[in-house]
Amino acid sequence: MNATAKYCLGLLLLASLIANVVFICMQARKTPEVPKCSRQMAAGMLKTHKHDGKSLIFSDLSAEEHTVVKEYLMKQADLKLTDSEVATLSDDYIFLIELHLPEKELALRYLDSSGPKPPREAKVVVFHGSRDLLVEYIVGPLPKPTYHRDDTIKRYGKRLQYSGRPVTRVEYGYIFDFLATKEFPKLGRVLQESFAYDGSNFCFVEGMPRGLKSGDRASWYTVFRKMSGIYLHPVGLEIRIDHSSKDPSGFKVLQIFYNGQYFNSSEELRDKYEKGNIKKIVYQPSEDYASLKPRRPPSGLPPQQYEMRGRRYSVQDNQVLYLDWGFAFGLSSLTGMYLFDIRFKGERIAYEVSVQEAIAMYGSSTPAVMLTKYVDSSFGIGRLAHELVRGVDCPYHATFVDTFRYLDTNQAKHYRNSICIFEHNMGRPLRRHFSDFFINDYGGLVNSVLIIRTITAIANYDYIWDFVFYQNGALEVRVFATGYISSAYLIDGSLRYGHQVAKNTLGTLHTHFVNFKADLDVTGTNNYFLTKDMAYHEVQVPWSPERRVQVPKLVEKQLKTENEAALRFDQKIPRYLHIASNKTNKWGHNRSYRIQVLSFNGDHLPESVPEEAAVSWARYKVAITKHKDHESTSSSLYNQNDMWSPAVNFSSYINGESIENEDLVAWISTGFLHIPHAEDIPNTVTAGNGGGFFLRPHNYFDEDPSINSPDSVYLDPSIPSDSCELNPNACLQNEVCMPNLPAFTYNGFDEVIHI
């Protein structure tokens, strides 16, 4: 045991002694009897639904299922798999295991009629280093697999090049080791005098894509100082490494960018530095401006919400029931949160609503950032859903759900409390009216919603993913960005690409675009795509024919093919977009759900740019395609690392097919432009930084279903103000109920990635 460890142990003993004394003192003080709320479901709230277990066909694989899939494949002699714990880049090993979603037709037959349960299958991504191929296998049936088949061609229409694979922990390890042991020793004096490098105080952030054409695997690494909030501490050094070789001894430095100057090798930088004919950086200690440690002691507590009479929703396995709503949920390591079989009053509204992709395109004059186009699902959006913090990430009283994931690992990892579900009083009426003048009364309904959330910390950025269920039958999907901006070392010309936000630090301009999938099924799968807007037209005033006026009129249109319904980012589009049924409501109008986008992307990469094919979903504000099981996602695990010949080229889904009386899928893009500014330090805030969309009933019902909400309040002058019959708030004071909250726990650091 070294001296520091002994010292720590001593402190720990002392701390536990103090804690015990405090605990004993607290026991001694007699606590008054406090009534506690029942944590059981409120009686009668859920009488219209029951959990049926059918949602399990959409549930993520369990820890045991991941294990049996791995063990089954390891036994297949023809695959020649090496355990990923010991595999090198030239071996064949498992990279990812996750649920393979059932085919929609089979799933619907099982859910809606007495069809058989679809086979439960896993999707497994194998990196075949020995054959230079990436292969996706389907393994089934679980829990006792008997078959595996190569699904790559069916899904992607082609074989996948080995160079399109993401970088694994092992490869990162080789790269950082190569720098530390082969290159940095050559730069001893430069690193010492410029950065006070001590062998362990550097961190690296990579730019992507890893080159300029298909097959390139030569990434720029920006060096950041290892201190709290590394992303805001660039030191002024960037290095481009060719790591295309499967043998790490073949890794090479291609360029070095030091204080705004390019060099072809460490030797060149060293020699020029020693001769003194370059612009040097002279080390100065960084201030700790990026730390998130509170700068003053906490005081006060923000308001909390709690459930007076217990929960009004219930979560069983992966199924949630809430008032009139019901849905299944899961978390894909790659694409993040998805919901299936979303029903309101028992009727399916959407088969699937899911996150697909999040991209960010950066500007800078520094080499690593000027190329950067991050395509996050290739890194894994859901992969980085860590434990949520009670009382901050989700309300304290939320229900927390654990997830298991298998990505770049050799056994499923357990992520505690990585999804949260809660009912939330938004503190604003969903609807209300106070009638003055002729009749006096008041009717209102507080906006109480159910939210299911996960938060994914994808390196510097944290994305909050919310699905919000309203009592009027609307579903809102939101994304918010927070966390650290990425930054670059300030050099001449930097200010064209952003603002200076700290000493020597440029906050680099970038876009955030996010793509979602909404597979709506409005009264079944036979749907149409309708648009509505208004236009002014001129009419003669009937009682004054010599005058003409402009009157807004309803403009309705049906778009009949995928091409017509691919609504481009730079196009003026109708404001109302509907997935409609040919069934009508009581008033004779086609029943529909409206897609209402809250914030469109804005400018997209020009289509002439070779990388554009990998993110071609961003060409469209909304695109409607005919449902196909093999067009399940708008992007892929491989799009980032081979942007030039992407595994999924979304624009090819739009190929002239009819979308009349078909099963339709809406691909919805939302986003914002981020020009970093001083207040992004230390963190970007969620307020104002996000996007999303609503799916809202539109002539779907005959009236607003929220009129039946049990939370409705009604007042009129004849009702005594202390009567609780139509106004539960009048009796709130009689609720003798304290929240029964669970103890605070946190284990989120158990599964962090170490390289």
Ligand X SMILES: *[C@@H]1O[C@H](CO)[C@@H](O)[C@H](O)[C@H]1NC(C)=O
- Interface with ligand X by CB under 6 A: which residues? 264, 268, 526, 528, 530, 558, 580, 582, 584, 590, 613, 645, 649, 651-652, 661
Of 163 and 511, which CB lies nearer to Cu ion in the complex structure? 511
| Residue 264 interacting partner from Cu ion, ligand X, none (CB closer than 5 to 8 Å by kind) | ligand X
d(CA 747, CA 161): 38
Phi–psi pair at 231, nearest 5 degrees: -60, -15
- Degrees, nearest 5: CA angle 363-365-367: 95
Which residues does residue 441 pair with via DSSP β-bridges, in sequence order?
A: 435
* Phi, psi (deg, nearest 5) at residue 541: -75, 115
- H, E, C per residue of 37-52: CCCCCCCCCCCCCCCC
Burial 711-748 (b: 16+ CB within 10 A, else e): bbbebeeeeeeeeeeebeebeeeeeebeeeeeeeeeeb
Name which of 674 and 698 has its Cβ closer to Cu ion. Answer: 674
Q: Which of 430, 424, 481, 483 has the alpha carbon at shortest distance from 450?
A: 424
Q: Is the dihedral of CA 295, 299, 300, 304 positive or negative?
A: positive
Q: Tokens 């906050």 label which residue?
A: 507
Q: What letter would DSSP give residue 335?
A: T
In the annotation, is 663 catalytic? no
Contact of residue 528 among Cu ion, ligand X, none (CB under 5-8 Å per partner type): ligand X
Q: Residue 222 or residue 527: which is nearer to ligand X going by CB?
A: 527
Nearest in space to 315 (alpha carbons), one of 305, 329, 336: 329
> Which residue, 413 or 674, has its beta carbon nearer to Cu ion?
674
Number of H helices, E strands in the chain: 8, 34
Check whether the bond before 710 is cis (ω within 30° of 0). Answer: no
Determine the Cα–Cα distance for residues 193 and 196; give it in Å rounded to an integer. Answer: 6
Within its chain, how far is the Cα of 711 from the centroid?
A: 32
Q: How many CA atoms lie within 13 A of 223 on its CB side?
A: 24
Which positions ≥6 away from 293 have C-beta within 8 Å?
A: 228
661 binds, among Cu ion, ligand X, none (CB under 5 to 8 A by kind): ligand X
Q: Does 373 bind Cu ion (CB under 5 A)?
A: no
Q: Which does 601 bind (CB under 5 to 8 A by kind): Cu ion, ligand X, none?
A: none
Closest to 529 (Cα-Cα) out of 619, 654, 652: 654
Q: Taking CB within 5 to 8 Å according to partner kind, which of ligand X, Cu ion, none is near residue 580?
A: ligand X
- What is the closest distance, in whole angstroms, from the C-beta atom of residue 608 to ligand X in the complex? 12
Residue 366: CB minimum distance to Cu ion, A: 17
- Separation CA 271–CA 264 (nearest Å): 12
> In whole angstroms, how close is the CB of 531 to ligand X at the nearest point?
11
Nearest CA to 580 out of 607, 559, 549 is that of 559
Q: Which of 461, 470, 593, 638 is catalytic?
A: 461
Beta-bridge partner residues of 515 = 357, 669
Angle at the Cα of 98 (from 638 to 652), degrees rounded to 5? 40
Cα-flanking dihedrals φ and ψ of residue 555, to 5°? Answer: -120, 115
The stretch near Cu ion (CB under 5 A) out of 155-163, 385-393, 434-442, 671-679 is 671-679
- 312 contacts 323 by C-beta, under 8 angstroms: yes
Distance CA 139, CA 122 (A): 5
Q: Which range touches Cu ion (CB under 5 A), out of 255-263, 536-544, 613-621, 670-678?
A: 670-678
In contact, 358 and 514? CB cutoff 8 Å:
yes
Shortest Å distance, C-beta 176 to ligand X: 25
Length of the chain: 755
* 558 interface partner picked from Cu ion, ligand X, none, CB below 5 to 8 A per type: ligand X
* Nearest distance from C-beta of residue 606 to Cu ion, angstroms: 21
User: Smallest gap, in angstroms, from Cβ of residue 448 to ligand X?
Assistant: 34
CB of 368 to Cu ion, least distance (A): 17
Residue 550: contacted member of Cu ion, ligand X, none (CB under 5 to 8 Å, by partner type): none
| Residues 94, 110: Cα–Cα separation, whole Å | 31
User: Under a CB-based contact definition with an 8 Å cutoff, are residues 143 and 112 in contact?
Assistant: no
Nearer CB in complex with ligand X: 181/608: 608
Instruction: Please state the three-class secondary structure of 546-583 as a single string.
Output: CCEEEEEEEEEEEECECCCCEEECCCCCCCEEEEEEEE
List the x/- string, 467-486, binding to Cu ion by CB under 5 A: --------------------
Q: Are 56 and 143 in contact (CB under 8 A)?
A: no
CB of 684 to Cu ion, least distance (A): 6
Closest distance to ligand X from the beta carbon of 387 (Å): 39
Query: What's the min distance (Å) between Cβ of 583 and ligand X?
Result: 6
Give residue 689's identity as a one-letter amino acid code: N
Residue 674 binding: pick among Cu ion, ligand X, none (C-beta 5-8 Å cut-off by kind): Cu ion
Region near Cu ion per CB under 5 A, out of 10-18, 182-190, 332-340, 673-681: 673-681
Residue listed under structure tokens 């401006």? 289
Catalytic-role residue among 151, 376, 462, 521? 376
Backbone angles phi, psi at 135, to 5 degrees: -130, 135
SS3 223: strand
CA dihedral 171, 175, 176, 180 (to 10 degrees): 140
Asked about 376 being catalytic, the answer comes back as yes
Shortest distance (Å) from residue 135 CB to ligand X: 20
In terms of CB distance, is 399 or 526 closer to ligand X? 526
Tell the smallest beta-carbon distance from residue 623 to ligand X (Å).
Answer: 12
Using CB under 5 A as the binding rule, whether residue 674 contacts Cu ion is answered as: yes
Question: Which uninterrupted H or E stretch holds 275?
Answer: helix 266-275
Residues that bind Cu ion (CB under 5 A): 674
Catalytic residues: 376, 461
